[in-house]
Amino acid sequence: MKPKLRVWVTFGDELKFGDGRARLLEAIDARGSLKKAAAEFEMSYRNAWGYLRELEQAAGFKFVERAAGGGPGSGMRLTDAGRRFLVHYRTFRSALETSMRRHFDRTFKQTRATRPTRSTR
């Protein structure tokens, strides 16, 4: 038995930012490319780009920027604002996970201690 937590930060009433969008941003940052990040999640480039545009419009700031050039330094990367937001989201998420585990352990301590064990034959 273990807890599972789903966390979203909402922008307005419609758009939710959660682990899926966070992982996409992290993949863009790691790969330097929206195309490569989208492929990693088996998502079309068009859907991933729409996902980002929708997020940026709702948030009111840019999460990614294109790096011009066409060489090794070109592609896409997180903006400073996007990187800060992602760090804040991960910090917030981690704190909630820690708190959730602590409360879960306290709440279910008796249940786990008194749970019948399987006898081995």
Q: What is the pLDDT of residues 62-117, one digit of tens each?
A: 999 987 765 555 689 999 999 999 999 999 999 999 999 999 999 988 665 555 55
Q: Which helix (H) or strand (E) holds 34?
A: helix 34-40
> What band does 120 get if pLDDT is binned at 50, 70 and 90?
low
**Average predicted confidence (pLDDT) for the chain:** 87
Q: Higher-confidence residue: 73 or 40?
A: 40
Architecture of domain 9-112: Orthogonal Bundle (1.10)
User: In the prediction, which pLDDT does 109 show?
Assistant: 83
Give domain limits for the chain.
9-112
* Average pLDDT, integer, range 30-38: 93
User: In the prediction, which pLDDT does 5 show?
Assistant: 87
- Paired tokens of 85: 């937001």
Q: What does each C-alpha distance from 20 to 1, 17, 51, 75 come to in angstroms?
A: 24, 8, 11, 21
- Paired tokens of 47: 């859907």
Residue 67 near residue 79 (C-beta atoms within 8 A):
no
